[in-house]
Structures are given as C-alpha cells and as structure tokens.
Amino acid sequence: MKNLLKIIFLFLLFKSTNTNAQLPKITGGNSNYQDSYFKAYQYLKCNYDFTIAYYVTGGWSAADVINIQALVLKDKSWKKILLQIPKKNKEPSAEPKVKIASFNGKKALQLVDDLTAIGFWSIDNDSLNIKEIKPKIPSENFINKDTVVIVADRTRRFSVVDGSSYHFVIIKNNELKIYRCDNPESYLGFFPEINATAVFVKAKTLFEKTMK
C-alpha cells in the first residue's frame, strides 16, 4: 500500500512539473487592458491559469459575431473555449457567450513548445504592422562622364484596404499581452525581412492547425 501511494505521488509530482515547466514567461504585458473584448479577457483571466487566444476582425466576413478561440489551462487540465461577442457592440461591456470542450493535454503542450521554438512569446509588437521601410543607404551623388548620377535605395511602402486583422491574446497570472497583425501574409510577402511578421504567420498556422 505504501509503495502504491509513493508511485501515485511521484506520478502526480512528475505531471505537475512537466506541465508547469513548459509554460512561457510573459513579459511586457498589461494587467489593465480595455477594448470591445474586455469582458472576454476578464473571463479568461479570472477563470484560468494560462490562456492563449486567437481571433480575427475586419475583412469581408458576413458573420455577426467575433469568434475568439482560446486554449486554456486550469489545475493542470487543458480546455478549448469559444467565446462569441456581437460585432455591433463597440463598448467594453459585451458579455461573451462561452462554449467549453475538453482538449488533449499533450497536443496543447506541443503547441506551447512549438511557439516557444519560433520565439513567439517575445515578439516585438513595434515591428508588427510596418507599412513603410526607408532605405538603409542614403542617396549619394557622383559624376560619371559629366553626368550626375544619384544612387539610392527606394523607400518601400505597402498598404491593404479593407483587410483583416489577426489577434493573439496571452494571459498568465495577472499579465495580459496582445499581438495584432494586419494582413500578415500580405505584408510578409512585401517585407520578408521583418522577422516579427514571419513569426506571427508561423504562430497563426500552428494555432489554426492545433485547434482543428
């Protein structure tokens, strides 16, 4: 009997360590964030130990609600949550409709590990949504056979009208961190050197694949 209790204790200890060790540290977050989805964030923050949520706004979608998909952890148990908020509400007071389902813990931890591997948790928000890149080399004049030649890199600009914005929300303890990227694939195609956008696109693909 003592040996059985010891085995059970060691199993639970290993399970606890294995779960918590893989959760990321969240830095640069904000404990007081308010927008149209404030109630949804509050629900997740108050009810779960760790959350990674994802949703899309804008574009030409005919849906009358915003669907926030969330993968949450509470007491070492993972859940899949869908929070629905009416599009027409612009105030931070809309109570979300909540649907909860169980989720495979190994699959959830694999997503966390994959996001860690690509540097997702420390994306530089200031590097997302860059719409203009100025030349690295300033213009320089020189004379070639009595002709003045101006050599310079051109400023590159790119903009999408009526596109979609993609959002990730990360909540751990009292920290809330939000990434927003407008039309990430389009901007990455035009500015492939921006690493933050590349990481965001990879994270978007990983999350969508995991939640199917």
pLDDT at 30 over 70: no
Q: Residues in the chain, how many?
A: 212
In a domain, 121, yes or no: yes
User: What pLDDT is stored for residue 64 in this prediction?
Assistant: 82
CB under 8 Å to 101, separation ≥6 — which residues? 79, 80, 81
Domain span including residue 85: 27-211
Is 51 part of any domain? yes
Query: Per the domain annotation, does 10 fall within a domain?
Result: no
The dihedrals phi and psi of 92, each to the nearest 5 degrees, come to -80, 45
Quick check: is 19 in a domain? Answer: no
Distance CA 38, CA 209 (A): 26
Name the pLDDT band for 108 (thresholds 50, 70, 90): very high
| pLDDT per position as a tens digit, 46-104 | 999 999 999 998 877 657 889 999 999 999 999 999 999 987 765 656 789 999 999 99
Is 124 inside any structural domain? Answer: yes
What is the per-residue pLDDT across 150-202, written as a single tens digit (0 to 9) for each?
A: 445 677 777 777 789 999 999 998 889 999 999 999 888 888 989 999 999 99
CA angle 119, 20, 13 (to 5 degrees): 150
Element containing residue 136 per DSSP (H, E): none
Domain presence at residue 22: no
pLDDT at site 129:
84
Domain count, the chain: 1
Q: Which of 24-28, 62-66, 177-181, 205-209 is most confident?
A: 205-209
Q: Which one of 113-122, 129-138, 141-150 scores highest in mean pLDDT?
A: 113-122
pLDDT at residue 16, as a whole number: 45
- Give me the amino acid identity at 185: E
How do 65-74 and 77-86 pair as beta strands?
antiparallel
Q: Are 141 and 150 in contact (CB under 8 A)?
A: yes
* Domain annotation covers residue 87: yes
Instruction: Please answer whether residues 80 and 66 qualify as being in contact, where contact means their C-beta atoms are separated by less than 8 angstroms.
Output: no
> Is position 46 within any domain?
yes
120 has pLDDT over 90: yes
